[in-house]
Amino acid sequence: MKWMRFRRDGRDGFGALEGDEIAVHRGDMFVSSQPTGERIEANGIEWLLPCQPTKMLALWNNFRAAAEKNGWAQPAEPLYFVKTPNSHAAHGAPIPVPPGEVGRVAYEGELAIVIGRRAQAVSVDDAPAHIFGYSCANDVTAIEVLFRDASFPQWTRAKGYDGFGVFGPVIETAFEVATARVRTTVAGRERQNYALADMFFSPAELVSRLSHDMTLEVGDVILCGTSLGVLPMKAGSTVEVEIDGIGKLVNVYG
């Protein structure tokens, strides 16, 4: 199912996207939800974040092709950072140009994992039971800010500007990671097209390993990292991140 959250006529709700319609549900998306019988057109609604994470963790250097091109060694364990809640933004929301002199800002099309059950030190075998589903993501980065100070890489700052943690439009609960690809287009031009099978750490491995570092709560999001094709964006550019079987995340930068 493709779960999503929406706002319509001042009312927030959630449901399952079925073609161009939303089958509205009540209850808790993650635990026990029931269809209300109401169906509404997806056109004309405001897309909300498909879930409300307590934290978003994002991977660096998780794809073999990118590591090979950039001369990075295979990591012994997941390398990740936190994207702060103010950065979280939904499908259709603008990605603001940061204030001040931040320099170039880049897109990074990625797969997002959504946690569905509280996970604390779970095994790789048990990890899939804690995954609710998957979404599309754009890990926006102020690339010049990141290494502006030679003494301290500024991951939190460069990745944490308002609107820099975009994900959506839906959470797909039936998804085949092994066969899917991520495609990112900017201003109509394809910039990324890579296989998710190229990851060093699979979703199950990521959930297991990260859950040994910190408790993963229901609704938390893990971005799986990106591969080749990351470039700066121009203000006014439409960025689309599409993943087979999930859908297309669309936002405008600036």
Closest CA to 92 of 161, 138, 41: 138
Looking at the domain covering 49-252, what would its CATH class be?
Answer: alpha beta
What stretch of H or E contains 172? strand 165-172
232: cis peptide before it, omega within 30°?
no
Report phi then psi at 158, rounded to 5.
Answer: -65, -30
| 49-252 and 1-47 share a CATH fold | no
Matching CATH number, 1-47, of 1.10.3210, 1.10.3470, 2.40.128, 2.30.30: 2.30.30
User: Contact at 8 Å (CB) between 220 and 57?
Assistant: yes
Burial of 134 per CB tally in 10 Å (0-12, 13-18, 19+): buried
**pLDDT tens for each residue of the chain, 254 residues long:** 999 999 999 999 999 999 999 999 999 999 989 999 999 999 999 999 999 999 999 999 999 999 999 999 999 999 999 999 999 999 999 999 999 999 999 999 999 999 999 999 999 999 999 999 999 999 999 999 999 999 999 999 999 999 999 999 999 999 999 999 999 999 999 999 999 999 999 999 999 999 999 999 999 999 999 999 999 999 999 999 999 999 999 999 99
Residue type at position 228? L
Sorted by where each begins, the domain ranges of the chain are 1-47, 49-252
Q: Which pLDDT score, from 0 to 100, does residue 141 have?
A: 98
What stretch of H or E contains 145? helix 143-146
